[in-house]
Amino acid sequence: MFYGTVAQAQKDNYHEYNQNLFSNRNGFVYSYTGLRGDSKRLYQKIKNGKEKRIQLVKALTPDD
């Protein structure tokens, strides 16, 4: 998910990023690839158990 700063991500209790790559607390988190807007809010609802109609499945490779 996109966050304007690492501090914002931490405040939102989001820790699913490599802290070695995003060590600057004032730097962006996933500025080019992160979820934003409606998709970000939907993902947060899924992760928090508020949206139960969707099941996330982890694919190990892009082909999966």
Angle at 6 between CA 13 and CA 28, to 5 degrees: 130
Per-residue pLDDT at 44: 93
Q: Length of the chain in residues, anyone? A: 64
The C-alpha atoms of residue 63 and residue 23 are separated, in whole angstroms, by 31
Print the domain residue range for 17: 1-64
Task: Kindly report, residue by residue over 30-56, the tens digit of the pLDDT.
Answer: 888 899 999 999 999 999 999 999 988
> Each residue of 14-31: pLDDT tens digit?
988 888 888 788 888 988
Total domains in the chain come to 1
Task: Give the containing element (helix H, strand E) for 40.
Answer: helix 37-47
Task: Please report the pLDDT score of residue 21 as a whole number.
Answer: 84
